[in-house]
């Protein structure tokens, strides 16, 4: 009966068992503004003021990190463990609705248990329960001992059994721990598990859901009895959770969604209130989803039982050892990426910490999925030291086909990105730098079309020498703008300036400001054609614009309030004004760039995202507007224009292959087609 209903068959049929699905459909700019900027900034501030809101407004309440290192099977390349991780993730999701995000640890660079503890301690910002599977026994004991004697802010479970019923006991333990938001030591977890195992699983799948709920209930009771629950949920008794899980088995995930507040009307509230309501309704913006739909949990139990008996996962691991190229064919790795921050430069809010930055990572994950068909795991790390941060990124990188660095502060972001690129050889980009730079270049390309100016004759001033400012400077210089002056909080940057310089500003000074202009922004803007602001609200005045060349282009990109408001800029003589806001014309929105850039880089398995790929992306964005439609109020396309990510992906793929950084050659039209289908259908094109 179950000859063809096996885990092995599912992997081969669906390219892995799981995917990441946004809980909200981004269909218009209004929804985009709630899921991402500007609405998400308010969610960050709410969590910064009250860290307990992390459980209410993000995925933390129902998500775990699921780790493996291949040590149990002594695998030289631990990425062969992906089938095991996906199988457990799917198991947890199907039977207990736990969102388990898989991570492969690179044990080849992890020297001892202290490195494991470093990774666990950093992942626990978002994932308050972390599960390690198939860890070598002695190493597992060392890890548990280290965790027992540490102050790590999460529960750590090691699940080493290949017995289905034992794995379900572990799942019940994890579910109870998650729901009571408990941070338990390994010794406390053993007490809870001992209580759970009083329920006999030997007769499963008979009375499956009733039995699973009973085991979960005993785990809850043990936590409740010992008062190990989180203070924010102490008033919730076990029966409420038990009823909710029972409802889940009947009604599905809708059980866990909160109702809209009584009388809440979107049109009568602002972005901040609506964003808060939306995030509270869904407890975060993304979830794990099975790529298949079993007819019943009993059927799925039998599929797992049969597959474990026949060692399907062992066969899949051997298949990957024999032919590593199959990794992207039979698992979800091809489409699985990470977004990583340490919370030091969250939006325009600054150093508010990794936990408060979680909503931004989730919002970005939604956009990657909606506009690039990419499954993105949000990772918020504590580490501030650049070298240690890169070490952690390298430790968790093997499962990911690409990594997007997000909201890292300057100047640390520059060596972090450079070292990570040099060590990982996968598509990796700090979007705050390069996404903004690519879209800014696209806007400049179309400005040149309208004004008929020569790019080599343009004079540019940039206000802000942080992550975005430096990247914009380098990209526009690399594309032909020779006369650039850049300012920071001290004033105009020039060679030999005695104050507020570092190695990165010294590098800029070598090719900018060749006339050694000194002074403030007021002096820098005189006689310029372009102003790019990545600084602070109100930095540019009407009087400054009046001193610029004829028909100047103002890119005022500070968020949430630009360097100058559009009406004021036009009144002062600006030919075109662009901002970072969705409620004005000409929004410089990174989502025009990063989904397609990563899609094209992933599909060609590029070793890096180079200058030529970024320039190709900028031209694809710029050329998406017909010359006949180009005007001062439409210098850039709408961020949700459906063809843009596919066009960008195609252009980036071509550039990757032409410059030799692509590991594989692929028909660019196929890249476009696959991107278009992924955006339209999710993971369906892989079937």
334 belongs to a structural domain: yes
Residue 682: what pLDDT? 66
CATH of the domain at 60: 3.40.50.10380
pLDDT at 683: 55
Q: Residue 183: is its pLDDT beyond 70?
A: yes
Domain that holds residue 485: 440-687
Q: Which two tokens stand for residue 197?
A: 């195992």
Q: Are residues 620 and 503 in the same domain?
A: yes
Active-site residue, 670 included:
no
Q: How confident is the model at residue 146 (pLDDT cuts 50, 70, 90)?
A: very high
Percent of the chain with pLDDT over 90: 88
Alpha helices in 536-593 (DSSP H): 542-546, 566-571
> Quick check: pTM over 0.85?
yes
Q: Would you say residue 2 has pLDDT above 50?
A: no
pLDDT of residue 38: 81
Q: CB-based contacts of 215: which residues, under 8 Å, 6+ apart?
A: 168, 169, 172, 196, 197, 199, 201
**Which residue pairs, CB below 8 angstroms and at least 24 apart, start in 201-210?**
201/165, 201/168, 201/169, 202/165, 204/165, 204/168, 204/301, 205/297, 205/298, 205/301, 205/302, 208/297, 208/298, 208/301, 209/246, 209/249, 209/297
Question: Any catalytic annotation for residue 364?
Answer: yes
State the pLDDT at residue 33.
Answer: 86
| Residue 511 belongs to some domain of the structure | yes
**Do 148 and 74 fall within a single domain?**
yes
Read off the pLDDT of residues 29-87 as tens digits, 9 standing for 90 and up: 888 889 988 889 999 999 999 999 999 999 999 999 999 999 999 999 999 999 999 99
- Same domain, yes or no, for 375 and 445? no
**In the prediction, which pLDDT does 687 show?**
47
Contacts of 267 (CB under 8 A, 6+ apart): none
Residue 480 belongs to a domain: yes
Give me the pLDDT at residue 59, please: 97
Q: Output the average pLDDT for the chain.
A: 94
Catalytic member of 180, 224, 304, 494: 304
With contact defined as beta carbons under 8 Å apart, do 67 and 130 qualify? yes
Distances (CA, A) of 165 to 205, 208, 304: 10, 11, 10
First-to-last CA distance in the chain?
23
In a domain, 338, yes or no: yes
Position 1 confidence tier, pLDDT thresholds 50, 70, 90? very low
Query: Do 370 and 446 fall within a single domain?
Result: no
Q: Which of 380, 395, 416 is the last residue of a domain?
A: 380
pLDDT tens readout for residues 332-363 = 999 999 999 999 999 878 899 999 999 999 99
Residue 685 has pLDDT above 50, yes or no: no
Instruction: Assess if residue 507 is contained within a domain.
Output: yes
In degrees, to the nearest 5, what angle opens at C-alpha 565 toward C-alphas 535 and 481?
55
Strand bridging mode 459-463 / 530-533: parallel
The CATH number of residue 561's host domain is: 3.40.50.720
545 found inside a domain:
yes
* Omega before residue 205 within 30° of 0, cis: yes
- The pLDDT tens digits of the residues spanning 104-119 come to 999 999 999 999 999 9
d(CA 352, CA 237): 34
Number of domains in the chain: 2
* CA–CA distance, 673 with 623 (Å, rounded to integer): 18
Residues 475, 371, single domain; the answer is: no
pLDDT given for residue 641 in this prediction: 84
Asked whether residue 534 falls in the same domain as residue 645, the answer is yes
Cα Rg for the chain, rounded, in angstroms? 26
| Judgement on whether residues 365 and 465 belong to the same structural domain of the protein | no
* Co-location of 345 and 459 in the same domain: no
pLDDT digits (tens, 9 = 90+) for 571-605: 999 999 999 987 899 999 999 999 999 999 999 99
Which residue, 380, 413, 431, sits at the end of a domain?
A: 380
Q: Based on the fold, state whether residues 576 and 474 are members of the same structural domain.
A: yes
**Residue 680 pLDDT exceeds 90:** no
Last residue of a domain, one of 346, 380, 414: 380
Same domain? For 619 and 483 the reply is yes
Does one domain contain both 446 and 366? no
Whether 464 and 370 map to the same domain: the answer is: no
pLDDT at 297 over 60: yes
Q: Which helix (H) or strand (E) holds 429?
A: strand 428-430
Least reliable range by pLDDT among 155-164, 211-220, 445-454, 554-563: 554-563
Mean pLDDT of 18-28: 92
Q: 411 with 152: CB under 8 angstroms?
A: no
**Residue 169, in any domain of the structure:** no
Flag whether 495 is in a domain.
yes
């Amino acid at each position: 009966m179950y000859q063809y209903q096996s885990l092995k068959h599912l992997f081969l049929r669906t390219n892995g068992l799981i995917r990441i699905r946004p809980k909200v459909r981004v269909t218009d700019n209004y929804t985009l503004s709630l899921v991402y900027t500007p609405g998400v900034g308010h969610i960050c501030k709410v969590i910064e003021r009250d860290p307990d809101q992390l459980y209410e407004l993000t995925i933390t309440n129902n998500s775990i990190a699921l780790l493996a290192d291949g040590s149990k099977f002594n695998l030289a390349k631990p990425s062969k463990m992906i089938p095991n991780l996906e199988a457990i993730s799917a198991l947890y999701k199907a039977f207990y609705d736990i969102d388990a995000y898989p991570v492969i640890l690179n044990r080849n660079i992890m020297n001892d248990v202290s490195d494991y503890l470093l990774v666990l301690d950093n992942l626990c910002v978002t994932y308050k329960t972390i599960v390690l599977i198939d860890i070598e026994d002695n190493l597992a004991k060392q890890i548990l001992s280290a965790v027992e004697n540490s102050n790590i802010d999460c529960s750590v479970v090691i699940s080493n059994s290949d017995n289905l019923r034992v794995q379900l006991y572990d799942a019940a333990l994890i579910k109870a721990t998650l729901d009571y938001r408990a941070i338990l030591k390994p010794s406390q977890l053993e007490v809870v598990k001992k209580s759970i195992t009083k329920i006999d699983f030997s007769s499963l799948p008979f009375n499956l859901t009733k039995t699973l709920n009973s085991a979960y209930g005993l785990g809850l009771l043990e936590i409740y009895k010992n008062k190990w629950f989180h203070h924010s949920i102490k008033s919730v008794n076990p029966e409420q959770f038990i009823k909710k899980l029972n409802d889940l088995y009947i009604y599905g995930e809708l059980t866990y969604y909160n109702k809209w507040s009584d009388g809440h009307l979107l049109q009568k509230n602002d972005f901040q209130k609506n964003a808060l309501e939306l995030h509270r309704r869904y407890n975060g913006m993304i979830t794990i989803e099975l790529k298949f739909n079993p007819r019943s949990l009993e059927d799925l139990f039998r599929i797992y039982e049969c597959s474990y008996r026949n060692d399907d996962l062992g066969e899949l691991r051997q298949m990957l050892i024999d032919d590593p190229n199959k990794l992207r064919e039979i698992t979800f790795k091809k489409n699985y990426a990470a977004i990583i921050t340490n919370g030091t430069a969250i939006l325009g809010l600054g150093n508010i910490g990794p936990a408060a930055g979680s909503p931004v990572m989730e919002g970005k994950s939604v956009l990657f999925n909606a506009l690039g068909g990419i499954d993105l795991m949000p990772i918020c790390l504590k580490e501030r030291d650049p070298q240690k941060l890169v070490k952690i990124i390298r430790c968790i990188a093997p499962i990911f086909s690409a990594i997007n660095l997000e909201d890292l502060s300057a100047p640390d972001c520059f060596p972090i990105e450079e070292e990570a690129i040099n060590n990982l050889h996968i598509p990796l980009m700090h979007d705050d730098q390069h996404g903004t730079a690519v879209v800014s270049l696209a806007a400049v390309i179309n400005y040149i079309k309208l004004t008929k100016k020569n790019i080599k004759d343009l004079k540019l001033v940039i206000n802000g020498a942080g992550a975005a400012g430096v990247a914009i400077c380098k990209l526009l210089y690399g594309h032909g703008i020779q006369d650039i002056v850049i300012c920071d909080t001290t004033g105009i940057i020039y060679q030999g300036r005695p104050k507020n310089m570092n190695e990165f500003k010294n590098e800029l000074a070598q090719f900018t400001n060749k006339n050694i202009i000194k002074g403030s922004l007021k002096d820098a803007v005189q006689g310029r054609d372009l102003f790019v602001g990545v600084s602070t609200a109100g930095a540019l005045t009407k009087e400054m614009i009046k001193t610029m060349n004829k028909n100047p282009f103002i890119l005022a990109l500070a968020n949430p309030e630009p360097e100058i408001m559009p009406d004021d800029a036009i009144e002062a003589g600006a030919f075109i004004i662009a901002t970072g806001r969705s409620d004005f014309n000409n929004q410089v929105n990174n989502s025009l760039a990063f989904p397609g850039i990563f899609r094209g880089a992933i599909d060609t398995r590029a070793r890096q995202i180079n200058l030529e790929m970024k320039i190709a992306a900028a031209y694809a964005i710029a050329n998406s507007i017909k010359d006949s439609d180009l005007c001062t109020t439409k210098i850039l396309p709408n961020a949700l224009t459906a063809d843009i990510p596919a066009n960008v992906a195609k252009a980036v793929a071509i550039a990757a292959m032409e410059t030799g950084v692509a590991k594989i050659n692929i028909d660019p039209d196929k890249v476009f087609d696959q991107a278009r289908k992924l955006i339209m259908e999710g993971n369906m094109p892989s079937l």
